[in-house]
């Protein structure tokens, strides 16, 4: 079989690319999963800008279960909480499986999608002309290609197979359970994303609770992300977290607490964008290229934008413009400065990564709680616009709180008592 473009990975980035490539190209997209969207390793929260990016090629609102107009931030100990709201939704909870399935079902006719099919490697690690694939229950086969795309996630096999491409090396491990039931905390729980600053309970990222609708019933997603070295604790910590929220009356689960409707764990690349994402006729996009916020762990926007922009550059490369692919980061940055956002995220990740004790998380929480009336407004700016999150808190009126936080942070940094 001969294809112009072979895409490995039928998720946010690979499917977006497939939608946007010119219709005269013959394209194969392979994915190891039983079906596109049969499982999706993502909470599926998208920002307003990402919703707009999706809306140009899919009726995205059909797959939004909850527009979110508030954030609740809970301090270590789970007791203290502040809520910050905005008038318009700032993020949206999507039905991830239905969204990815719809992206696959609506593919144009020039695209062949093969699921239950694993990409194994290439014939030539410098400039591949063939990909080796194996479909479930079948023999290994080779497909001829002019261009290969790695849209195959943080542990990209394409990045491993082709010489000179950068691989992701730093990850968080995210673990999530989905339950039917109600969220009972806060003024408007169905429009609120809850973010838990666990501190010592679970270092790395914290926890989240996001209301959703699953199979037409009220449900919620609850999870946490941890540093990779501690990933073995993720399941047990999540179970403890769920039980604590049930005991506190923050959530009510329909059915058995030990039997969530859906569970997954996966890696989130947090080392920043990769420096070498292209070589000859190969390109990495989405998580494979490290297009994921190192602090916020948000990668759907980068997946969609890299898929769209790659669809413009790949045809240019195929027409002989061999340096076309180098322009991907610059073209992506025209979408609200996303590459600059990723750079800032590395700084926040570093600051957060140093924090070790409850008192440090609490001191930071105290600063942001004092800003709660306008916090989300400013936070939205930093997520979707060009503003730095630091300006949300670096204000004269917080001098005392900032000094306290800085002192604790320095102690954590120096591993002092």
Ligand X SMILES: Cc1cc2nc3c(=O)[nH]c(=O)nc-3n(C[C@H](O)[C@H](O)[C@H](O)COP(=O)(O)OP(=O)(O)OC[C@H]3O[C@@H](n4cnc5c(N)ncnc54)[C@H](O)[C@@H]3O)c2cc1C
Nearest approach in angstroms of CB 321 to ligand X is: 25
Selected from 4, 7, 9, 89, the binder of ligand X by CB under 6 A is 9
* Secondary structure of residue 175 in the 3-state scheme: strand
55 membership: H or E segment, kind and range: helix 48-55
Six-digit token string for 401: 């709180």
83 membership: H or E segment, kind and range: strand 81-85
Nearest approach in angstroms of CB 101 to ligand X is: 12
Quote the CA–CA distance of 362 and 77 in Å, as a whole number. Answer: 9
Quote the CA–CA distance of 143 and 226 in Å, as a whole number. Answer: 39
Selected from 4, 11, 64, 359, the binder of ligand X by CB under 6 A is 11
Length of the chain: 417
Q: Which is nearer to ligand X, 116 or 252 (CB)?
A: 116
Q: Which is nearer to ligand X, 95 or 287 (CB)?
A: 287
Kindly calculate the radius of gyration of the chain based on its CA atoms and give it in whole angstroms.
Answer: 22
Quote the CA–CA distance of 37 and 408 in Å, as a whole number. Answer: 44
Selected from 17, 32, 311, 364, the binder of ligand X by CB under 6 A is 32
Nearest approach in angstroms of CB 66 to ligand X is: 12
Q: Which is nearer to ligand X, 42 or 358 (CB)?
A: 42
- Which residues does residue 149 pair with via DSSP β-bridges, in sequence order? 7, 283
Nearest approach in angstroms of CB 399 to ligand X is: 34
Backbone angles phi, psi at 82, to 5 degrees: -120, 155
- Which residues does residue 134 pair with via DSSP β-bridges, in sequence order? 118, 140
Binding marks (x or -) toward ligand X, 290..329, rule CB under 6 A? --x----xxxxx-x--------------------------
Question: 384-398 burial by CB neighbour count: b if 16+ within 10 A, else e?
Answer: beebebeebbeeeeb
Selected from 44, 89, 128, 199, the binder of ligand X by CB under 6 A is 44
Quote the CA–CA distance of 177 and 159 in Å, as a whole number. Answer: 30
Q: Is 235:175 a contact under the CB 8 Å cutoff?
A: yes
> Tokens 């194996």 — which residue?
134
Q: Which is nearer to ligand X, 56 or 399 (CB)?
A: 56
Nearest approach in angstroms of CB 408 to ligand X is: 28
Site for ligand X in 243-282 (CB under 6 A): 266, 268
Cα atoms found within 13 Å of the Cα of residue 210, Cβ hemisphere only: 27
Question: 230-263 burial by CB neighbour count: b if 16+ within 10 A, else e?
Answer: ebebbeebbeebbeebeeeebbebeeeeeebeee
Q: Are strands 117-122 and 130-135 parallel, antiparallel or unpaired?
A: antiparallel
The yes or no reply on residue 336 touching ligand X (CB under 6 A) is: no
Nearest approach in angstroms of CB 94 to ligand X is: 8
Binding marks (x or -) toward ligand X, 49..88, rule CB under 6 A? ----------------------------------------
Q: Which residue is nearest to ligand X (CB)?
A: 299
Binding segment for ligand X among 4-12, 59-67, 73-81, 244-252 (CB under 6 A)?
Answer: 4-12
Binding segment for ligand X among 183-191, 285-293, 317-325, 386-394 (CB under 6 A)?
Answer: 285-293
Q: Which has the closest alpha carbon to 34: 132, 124, 106, 135?
A: 135
> Tokens 């508030």 — which residue?
70
- The site for ligand X, by CB under 6 A, has a size of 37
Nearest approach in angstroms of CB 231 to ligand X is: 11
Selected from 207, 223, 315, 336, the binder of ligand X by CB under 6 A is 223
Selected from 190, 250, 287, 371, the binder of ligand X by CB under 6 A is 287
> Tokens 């070498």 — which residue?
276
The yes or no reply on residue 45 touching ligand X (CB under 6 A) is: yes
Site for ligand X in 151-170 (CB under 6 A): 151-153, 157
DSSP assignment letter at 138: S
Binding marks (x or -) toward ligand X, 112..131, rule CB under 6 A? ------xx------------
The yes or no reply on residue 195 touching ligand X (CB under 6 A) is: no
Q: Is 278:158 a contact under the CB 8 Å cutoff?
A: no
The yes or no reply on residue 17 touching ligand X (CB under 6 A) is: no
Q: Which is nearer to ligand X, 8 or 324 (CB)?
A: 8
Q: Which residues bind ligand X (CB under 6 A)?
A: 8-14, 30-33, 41-45, 118-119, 151-153, 157, 174, 176, 223, 266, 268, 286-288, 292, 297-301, 303
């Amino acid at each position: 079989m001969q294809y112009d473009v072979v895409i490995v990975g039928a998720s946010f980035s690979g499917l977006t690319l497939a939608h946007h490539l010119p219709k005269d190209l013959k394209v194969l997209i392979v994915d190891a999963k039983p079906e596109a969207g049969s499982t999706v390793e993502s909470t599926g929260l998208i920002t307003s800008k990402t919703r707009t990016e999706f809306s140009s090629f899919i009726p995205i609102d059909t797959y939004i279960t909850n527009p979110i107009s508030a954030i609740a931030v809970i301090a270590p100990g789970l007791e203290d909480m502040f809520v910050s709201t905005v008038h318009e939704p700032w993020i949206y909870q999507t039905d991830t499986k239905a969204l990815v399935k719809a992206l696959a079902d609506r593919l144009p006719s020039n695209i062949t999608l093969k699921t239950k099919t694993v990409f194994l490697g290439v014939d030539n690690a410098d400039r591949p002309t063939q990909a080796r694939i194996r479909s479930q229950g079948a023999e290994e086969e080779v497909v001829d290609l002019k261009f290969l795309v790695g849209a195959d996630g943080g542990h990209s096999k394409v990045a491993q197979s082709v010489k000179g491409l950068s691989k992701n090396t730093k990850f968080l491990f995210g673990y999530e359970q989905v339950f039917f039931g109600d969220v009972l905390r806060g003024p408007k729980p169905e429009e609120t994303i809850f973010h838990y600053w666990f501190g010592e309970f679970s270092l790395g990222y914290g926890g989240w609770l996001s209301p959703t609708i699953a199979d037409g019933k009220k449900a919620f997603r609850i999870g946490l992300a941890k540093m990779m070295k501690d990933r073995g604790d993720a399941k047990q910590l999540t179970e403890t977290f769920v039980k604590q929220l049930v005991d506190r009356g923050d959530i009510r689960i329909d059915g058995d607490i030990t039997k969530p409707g859906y569970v997954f764990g996966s890696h989130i690349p947090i080392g920043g964008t990769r420096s070498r994402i292209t070589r000859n006729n190969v390109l990495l996009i989405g998580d494979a290229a490290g297009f994921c916020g190192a602090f916020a762990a948000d990668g759907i926007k980068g997946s969609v934008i890299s898929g769209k922009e790659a669809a413009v550059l790949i045809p240019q490369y195929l027409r002989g413009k061999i340096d076309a692919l180098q322009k991907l980061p610059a073209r992506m940055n025209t979408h609200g400065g996303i590459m600059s956002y990723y750079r800032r995220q590395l700084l926040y990740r570093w600051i957060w990564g140093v924090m070790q004790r409850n008192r440090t998380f609490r001191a930071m929480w105290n600063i942001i709680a004092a800003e709660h009336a306008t916090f989300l407004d400013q936070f939205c700016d930093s997520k979707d616009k060009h503003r730095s999150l630091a300006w949300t808190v670096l204000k004269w009126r917080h001098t005392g709180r900032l000094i306290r936080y800085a002192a604790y942070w320095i102690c954590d940094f120096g591993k002092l008592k």
